[in-house]
Amino acid sequence: MKIFITGSNGLLGQKLVALLGKSNHQILATGQGACRILELPSNVQYETCDITKDNDLNFSIGLFNPDVVIHSAAMTNVDECEVDPKKCGDVNVGATRNVEKACESIGCRLIHLSTDFIFDGKDGPYNEEGIPNPISIYGQSKLDAELEVQKAKCPWAIARTVLVYGIAPGLSRTNIILWVKSSLEQGKTIQVVDDQFRTPTLAEDLAQGCLLIAEKKATGVFNISGKDFLTPFAMANLTADYFKLDKALITKASAATFTQAAKRPPRTGFDISKAVQQLGYQPHSFEEGIRILESQL
């Protein structure tokens, strides 16, 4: 199978390259700017591609002629999306429309990555039939992108996920595990939210979920997340326990404590039963995720 990946320099993109590099599939990894992947497997090529420009995208996809496109590229900083809605729309909606049209032109399958932020967080955890009601510009852009994909005249699947964490080269954003570990090792007191609920997702698990969708030629919407329903406060405590650090330095806080440009849904998280039953998806627990992350430090 020939697989085309957008957003290959990002966290999920790099995990997809690592996973697919162990397969017999032929991979074209694309991203903005120079390749940040430290070592490309022999079955993977990297190519710069600006997916906001349909000519660039059509040329790359047409030349490679993939069987499936995994569209992982997105503007994911929720507050930056709130501050710059035009850029958010161009990247998250406009580029998705370009990807959709390019897939239609050659008749290949499309796997699109989406988010729990399409929901308002009043009724989580959600299954695939939950009613979207985004409360941020980021969430609205990802819902609009989903609606574009669902109109596609080619086979499509949407993989929704939640609070993805992991380590990859060249990424400036940290994650809750590394932040808690570093802070407690330095003896810092940290405030951690205890009134938001998520099912945090190990990036390697999300990559595996995408591969399962691709290999099984599955269509429709799938929740691909972790299986543990946790608050950030609970995640911080599990991290402290794992690394044998002082939990007394962790204090509870409400979301209202922090000033952020965009609203966050209070209670999301996903029911992953459909992915487990139909795809054979089996994510790690959050504690197992900490162990895997530690092995990569």
Q: State residue 165's pLDDT score.
A: 97
Q: State residue 169's pLDDT score.
A: 85
- Please state the φ and ψ torsions of residue 12, each to the nearest 5 degrees: -65, -40
The burial of 296, by beta-carbon neighbours within 10 Å (0-12 exposed, 13-18 middle, 19 or more buried), is given as exposed
- DSSP per residue over 198-249, as a string? B--EEHHHHHHHHHHHHHTT--EEEE---S--B-HHHHHHHHHHHHT--GGG
Q: Dihedral of the CA atoms 237, 239, 240, 244 (nearest 10)?
A: 140
Q: State residue 173's pLDDT score.
A: 72
Q: State residue 170's pLDDT score.
A: 83
Do residues 274 and 127 lie in contact, with contact meaning Cβ atoms separated by under 8 Å?
yes
In three-state secondary structure terms, 270 is strand
Per-residue pLDDT tens for 167-218?
A: 998 886 789 999 999 999 999 999 999 999 999 999 999 999 999 999 999 9
Locus of tokens 């957003």: 7
Q: Give the mean model confidence (pLDDT) for residues 135-144.
A: 98
Q: Is the pLDDT of residue 269 over 90?
A: yes
Collect all residues with Cβ–Cβ distance below 8 Å to 282 and sequence separation of at least 6. 276
In three-state secondary structure terms, 174 is coil
Per-residue pLDDT tens for 281-290?
A: 999 999 999 9
Domains of the chain: 2-166+201-226+269-285 (3.40.50.720)
Q: 161: closest CA among 82, 87, 72? A: 72
Q: State residue 249's pLDDT score.
A: 98
Question: How many other β-carbons are positioned within 10 Å of the β-carbon of residue 150?
Answer: 13
